[in-house]
Structure 1
């Protein structure tokens, strides 16, 4: 379920196959405009669905980013999925970021909540509550609670979450994917020490968001 596929994410295989096919067809018919157009589309699709494996270096008490992208929010707020005060760290993914989602910490998934909704720009604050999203809550061996929320965006209209209630995740396990631009909110314990800054670019499984 959580296996990485080197080079390309399996979610992108049909898209890559289609664009490569169209590119080859345009070459066959020797249409220079079509070759350029389909070639650009093919390269874009391949880069979008790239899924590099990352080496985990974080400690067991450190929360890593579940997504590649840019930190757009760090704030004390309420975790609506677990009715507690928490620090929310939001990471926005544009179409040029890796879109695989990885477990931010090791632990057991104690709940999974999917909510249909709108498809507003994922960079907006209200996207957290109004857009389609899927949240999983992970309980660590030391009984700490981390909530990771996949949020659809203006273009991203397909959230894929492979983790279920009862799943055991290791930090860095691949648990989901969001197609074509989106956002991931992390709700971490209120007394955590945040390690990132607004505007900072982060990579999933690598960059540490907080120490709990």
Structure 2
């Protein structure tokens, strides 16, 4: 039940983030719903394809689809009201979604006895794949690959589960808290991975 609650929080956060991006890009109502659904379920769908889970398994999540659609509708109908709360709690709920989805994705792959590499990929795709697809559809550079440390926490979660360091419920919940907290710390303190540009400090156009 606890994992279901965490998954619902993550689904709501991802669906809302997709809807907000669509509205920022001035998409119509269909675009808002598509981007919201893709953000919430796109990562899981890609993961299923890669690790051999039937794609039809996605349609068994009827409750989650209803929750996502309801969340998107609220954003579309009451954007100003929800944005006030999103600006305050959005990153927190997103961190919960990243952690819960990454762990679930890794557990899916581990249960199917896939190698470590597949478990890590499943964790990353489930935790951050939807956001990557969202940004690509919105013609943006994927935020999870260039802003504060994001996908790296899913990679760590995949390694921990793939190496068998977290198996019991207590260990999995501890891992969940670790990923959530460090994702929150990364945006609070603006932690970033090293970057390198082939243009040096300034591009030709900036000079």
- TM-score scaled by structure 1? 0.26
The answer to which structure, 1 or 2, has the higher relative contact order (CA under 8 A, 6+ apart) is 1
- TM-score scaled by structure 2? 0.26
Structure that is richer in helix per residue: 2
Structure that is richer in strand per residue: 1
Question: Which of the two has higher C-alpha Rg?
Answer: 1
